[in-house]
Amino acid sequence: MASNCPAEVGMPLEAVLTPCLLVDLDALERNMDRMAVFARENQIRLRPHAKTHKCPAIALQQIARGAVGICCQKVSEAEAMVEGGVTDIMVSNQVVDPRMIERLARLARAARVAVCVDDAANIDVIAAATKAQDAVLDVLVEIDVGAGRCGVAPGRPAVELARRISASPALRFAGLQAYNGRTQHRRDHAERQALVDTAVAMTRQTMDLLESEGLQCPIIAGAGTGSYALDAASGLYNELQCGSYVFMDADYNSLRDHDGQPRQDFSQSLFLYTTVMSKTRPTHAVCDAGLKVQSVDSGLPVVHGRDDVQYIEANDEHGLLADPHNLLRLGERLRLVPGHCDPTVNLHDWLVGIRGGRVECIWPVGARGMSL
Amino acid sequence: MASNCPAEVGMPLEAVLTPCLLVDLDALERNMDRMAVFARENQIRLRPHAKTHKCPAIALQQIARGAVGICCQKVSEAEAMVEGGVTDIMVSNQVVDPRMIERLARLARAARVAVCVDDAANIDVIAAATKAQDAVLDVLVEIDVGAGRCGVAPGRPAVELARRISASPALRFAGLQAYNGRTQHRRDHAERQALVDTAVAMTRQTMDLLESEGLQCPIIAGAGTGSYALDAASGLYNELQCGSYVFMDADYNSLRDHDGQPRQDFSQSLFLYTTVMSKTRPTHAVCDAGLKVQSVDSGLPVVHGRDDVQYIEANDEHGLLADPHNLLRLGERLRLVPGHCDPTVNLHDWLVGIRGGRVECIWPVGARGMSL
The tens digit of pLDDT for each residue in A190-220 reads 999 999 999 999 999 999 999 999 999 999 9
Domain A25-249, CATH among 3.40.1390.30, 1.10.3720.10, 3.20.20.10, 3.20.20.70: 3.20.20.10
- Record: contact A317-B371, CB cut-off 8 A: yes
A304 three-class SS: coil
Give CATH for domain B26-250. Answer: 3.20.20.10
Q: What is the pLDDT of residue B328?
A: 98
Q: Supply φ then ψ for residue A283, to 5 degrees.
A: -100, -5
Q: What is the pLDDT of residue B228?
A: 97
* Residue in A73, A82, A295 closest to B317 by CB: A73
**A13-21+264-364 and A25-249, same CATH topology:** no
CB B170 within 8 A of CB B115: no
- Which of the residues B104, B149, B321, B334 would you substitute to probe the A interface, choosing the one with the greatest number of A C-beta atoms within 10 Å? B149
Q: What is the pLDDT of residue A238?
A: 98
Query: Does residue A307 have a pLDDT over 90?
Result: yes
Q: What is the pLDDT of residue A96?
A: 98
- Record: contact A4-B372, CB cut-off 8 A: yes
Q: State the nearest Cα–Cα gap between B41 and chain A, in angstroms.
A: 31
The DSSP code for B263 is P
Query: Does residue B1 have a pLDDT over 80?
Result: no
Q: What is the pLDDT of residue A163?
A: 98
B158 interface with A at CB cutoff 8 Å: no
Maximum distance among all Cα pairs of chain A, rounded to whole angstroms? 72
HSE-up (13 A, CA, CB side) for residue A73 = 29
- Which of the residues B241, B292, B295, B340 would you substitute to probe the A interface, choosing the one with the greatest number of A C-beta atoms within 10 Å? B292
CB-CB neighbors (< 8 A) of B297 in chain A: 291, 296-297, 314
A53 interface with B at CB cutoff 8 Å: no
* Residue in B1, B4, B73 closest to A372 by CB: B4
Whole-number mean pLDDT of chain A? 97
Q: What is the pLDDT of residue A1?
A: 75
A343 interface with B at CB cutoff 8 Å: yes
Q: State the nearest Cα–Cα gap between A41 and chain B, in angstroms.
A: 31
Size of chain B in residues = 372
pLDDT band at A111 (very low <50, low <70, confident <90, very high): very high
Q: Supply φ then ψ for residue A5, to 5 degrees.
A: -80, 120
CA dihedral B56, B57, B62, B63 (to 10 degrees): 70
Q: How far is CA A140 from CA A18, A151, A204, A218, in A?
A: 42, 10, 15, 10
pLDDT band at A305 (very low <50, low <70, confident <90, very high): very high
Residues B227-243 have a mean pLDDT of 97
H/E element, A71? strand A70-72
DSSP string covering B6-31: ---TT-BGGGS-SSEEEEEHHHHHHH
B113 interface with A at CB cutoff 8 Å: no
Q: What is the pLDDT of residue A33?
A: 98
CA dihedral A370, A343, B291, A187 (to 10 degrees): 140
CB B332 within 8 A of CB B308: no
Residues A52-81 have a mean pLDDT of 98
Q: Supply φ then ψ for residue A227, to 5 degrees.
A: -120, 0
Contacts of B209 by beta carbon, 8 Å cutoff, 6+ apart: B155, B156, B158, B159
Range B13-21+264-364: architecture per CATH: Beta Barrel (2.40)
Nearest CA in chain B to A285: B149
CB B171 within 8 A of CB B126: yes
A280 interface with B at CB cutoff 8 Å: yes
Size of chain A in residues = 372
In this predicted model, what pLDDT tens digit does every residue of B60-99 receive, in sequence order? Answer: 999 999 999 999 999 999 999 999 999 999 999 999 999 9
A125 three-class SS: helix
Q: Rounded CA gap, A126 and B362, in Å?
A: 29
Whole-number mean pLDDT of chain B? 97
Q: Rounded CA gap, A239 and B354, in Å?
A: 44
Q: Rounded CA gap, B40 and A172, in Å?
A: 66
Nearest CA in chain B to A116: B278
- Record: contact A369-B295, CB cut-off 8 A: no
Nearest CA in chain B to A366: B2
Spell out the SS3 assignment of B70-88: EEECCHHHHHHHHHCCCCE
CB A240 within 8 A of CB A39: yes
Q: Rounded CA gap, B114 and B47, in Å?
A: 12
CB-CB neighbors (< 8 A) of B94 in chain A: 277-278
Residues B172-194 have a mean pLDDT of 96
Smallest CA-to-CA distance from A11 within A355, A371, A289, A277 is with A355
pLDDT band at A7 (very low <50, low <70, confident <90, very high): very high
For the beta carbon of residue A42, count every other beta carbon within 10 angstroms: 17
CB-CB neighbors (< 8 A) of A119 in chain B: 278-280, 330
A51 interface with B at CB cutoff 8 Å: yes
Residues B150-179 have a mean pLDDT of 98
Q: Supply φ then ψ for residue A70, to 5 degrees.
A: -130, 165
Task: Using the Cα atoms of residue A204, residue A210, residue A212 and residue A214 in order, give the sign of their dihedral.
Answer: negative
Domain limits, chain A: 13-21+264-364, 25-249
Total CB pairs under 8 A between chain A and B: 196
Helices marked H in chain A: 25-41, 56-64, 75-83, 98-107, 120-132, 156-166, 181-184, 189-212, 228-233, 250-253, 341-345
Distance of CA A190 to the CA centre of its chain: 23
Q: What is the pLDDT of residue B344?
A: 98
Burial class (CB in 10 A: 0-12, 13-18, 19+), A16: buried
CA dihedral A70, A73, A74, A79 (to 10 degrees): -10
Q: Rounded CA gap, A232 and A252, in Å?
A: 19
Q: Quick one: what percent of chain B has pLDDT higher than 90?
A: 99
In this predicted model, what pLDDT tens digit does every residue of A14-51 receive, in sequence order? Answer: 999 999 999 999 999 999 999 999 999 999 999 999 99
Q: Rounded CA gap, A16 and A5, in Å?
A: 9
CA dihedral A74, A76, A82, A84 (to 10 degrees): -110
> B138 forms bridges with which residues in the sheet?
B114, B172
Q: State the nearest Cα–Cα gap between A284 and chain B, in angstroms.
A: 8
In this predicted model, what pLDDT tens digit does every residue of B280-312 receive, in sequence order? Answer: 999 999 999 999 999 999 999 999 999 999 999
Smallest CA-to-CA distance from A75 within B49, B18, B239, B271 is with B18
- Record: contact B278-A79, CB cut-off 8 A: no
CB-CB neighbors (< 8 A) of B77 in chain A: 2
Q: What is the pLDDT of residue B100?
A: 98
- Which of the residues B345, B371, B372 would you substitute to probe the A interface, choosing the one with the greatest number of A C-beta atoms within 10 Å? B371
> A270 forms bridges with which residues in the sheet?
A23
Burial class (CB in 10 A: 0-12, 13-18, 19+), A89: buried
CB A254 within 8 A of CB A309: no
